[in-house]
Chains A and B, each alone.
Chain A
């Protein structure tokens, strides 16, 4: 069973604010899901490689050349941010 403190800790790591009721609800729901996942313990995977790609893929490379962006598109992209200043996104100081 996952504890309330664990739920709060993980939620903070994931940068999501949860109300007290949500923490309690998530504790219950996540514990139920984790219980269900215990069936995976039945499977022996000792000599099995993890699958990272379902189909065969190769590296796809291209020249790393800067491209001029359409100023109109840039303005549209910036315009969708909640706060901006002088063509930059405005963010609270990190320190």
Chain B
């Protein structure tokens, strides 16, 4: 039975259809593995055995009746705790939402439930997805399965660790500035940030609405693609979601037909030499297989991180205004006292409900949006965002995909960066340009430095996820 850990969606599907295993057995097997691994990892905030068993029984009934199963039926899946699952607690890693129970399903969750996916639990995240390590979670950090003294990356660190440790087969995360790709890289798995608008955000607890996207994490590119295909497409409940072109499927392609761009700005100051070596070796493998590799330039990439933090904090300060202490959270102590004003209640409930990074971003966002600073920060950032998008458009006239590192550093020690916010922000320097431009990015395992995984980032034009899957599968073959 242990041989089921690390097998693909298609293999599990076959075993279910051949009745070699039941969905209930699958749920039991993975749940007991979760119990075992959680002693070390803390990938989950909430585990949902009842829901998993209920879904498993429905699938086994279908098998018994001889009905055919969707490909994802019976596949154990984890959901980031910023995505709503009806009836389950959804904390977003915050004390503010510690007791919040989702009254409805996110569209992505609804789509997975219709396929019969087994929803095993809700995974750890930095508070309101603000962070690169899950250390900002109000419930404590997730540990990296490859080295328990190190972070799993963030903010979707629980989702990445749960897949890497075979607690589940696939997981959903959210990516605002690298929150899927970075933990995928740190945990040695595959993670996709889809094109903005490709996947509905309905039921995702918002961080920065012009940047947020939900996406899949898996062990292989094939599994990642299967999950993405189940998520994508327009949703009437998210007016920024769009019809995804259905004629674009990944297919086997010849490396000799592939033009790869390597941005020179991604190999400058800040990149750890050992990481650089792994990435250069990966690029050399593409070249050896016959791909045409050329250096390109993204002149505004060095400004992307500053632009990103201005836009992120500004949007976050507006989005998180809804946590006013009236709709969610606990009553605090002041409300019973006489002569206490509404302002006092706001200050108390928001001051106590939010952790340090969330407060920092709300305060900074309010500063960047305030009179006298708006043009210098917010408008300027949006203008440079235009220039960055044009950089990518020009690059894609010459090359099919862009490759580079996901992270400038290896998975770092828990506690190493938490006291210095800027050093933590810099971990995202290679992932944020993709969110600003609205284009898709895929993180795939490129190699290791000792026992620590290093991820390779593949970037394609908007709605060209099929290209990323194609090139990702090619790399799995040649590496």
Residues of A in contact with B (beta carbons under 8 Å apart):
2, 6-7, 10-18, 22, 26, 29-30, 32-33, 36-37, 39-40, 42-43, 45, 48-55, 57, 60, 62, 73, 76-77, 80-83, 89, 91-94
Contacts and interface: CB of A to CB of B under 8 A. Distances in A.
B106 to A, nearest CB: 16
Nearest to B310: A37
Nearest to A7: B363
Most A CB atoms within 10 A — which of B307, B345, B367, B381? B367
Most B CB atoms within 10 A — which of A11, A16, A22, A83? A16
B359 A82 contact: no
> Which 5 A-B pairs give the minimum distances between C-beta atoms?
A54-B438, A17-B351, A50-B382, A60-B239, A82-B331
A6 B363 CA distance: 10
A56 B331 CA distance: 43
Contact of B385 (A51, A62, A81): A51
20 contacts: A10-B363, A13-B366, A15-B350, A16-B347, A17-B348, A18-B359, A30-B364, A30-B367, A32-B421, A43-B300, A43-B380, A50-B379, A53-B210, A54-B438, A55-B242, A57-B239, A82-B325, A82-B329, A91-B342, A92-B345
A10 B370 contact: yes
Contact of A48 (B242, B321, B387): B387
Interface in B380-402: 380-387, 389
Given A17-B348, A40-B381, A50-B386, A30 B438 contact: no
B422 interface: yes
A40 B347 contact: no
Nearest to A15: B346
B196 interface: yes
A55 B197 CA distance: 8
Given A11-B359, A45-B384, A83-B331, 18 more contacts: A14-B350, A16-B347, A16-B351, A37-B377, A40-B303, A40-B307, A40-B380, A43-B380, A43-B384, A45-B387, A50-B385, A51-B386, A53-B210, A54-B389, A81-B327, A82-B325, A83-B335, A94-B342
B309 A33 contact: yes
Dominant SS among interface residues on chain B: helix
A34 B400 CA distance: 36
Interface in B240-275: 240, 242
Interface string B323-351: 01111111110010000111101111111
Contact of A81 (B326, B332, B365): B326
Given A53-B210, A73-B103, A18 B383 contact: no
Contacts, number: 160
Most B CB atoms within 10 A — which of A12, A15, A32, A49? A15
A78 B239 CA distance: 27
A12 B347 contact: yes
A1 B382 CA distance: 23
B195 interface: yes
Given A43-B387, A80-B99, A17 B350 contact: yes
Given A51-B386, A60-B239, A76 B103 contact: yes
Contacts of A42: 303
B363 A89 contact: no
Contacts of B307: 40
B103 A40 contact: no
B317 interface: yes
Contact of B341 (A26, A52, A62, A92): A92
Given A77-B103, A80-B101, A15 B383 contact: no
A53 B317 CA distance: 19
Contacts of B228: none
Nearest to B423: A32
Contacts of B236: 62
A51 B351 contact: no
B362 interface: yes
A94 B346 CA distance: 12
A32 B100 CA distance: 35
A39 B364 contact: no
Contacts of A32: 421-422
Contacts of A10: 363, 366-367, 370
B339 to A, nearest CB: 11
A45 B365 CA distance: 21
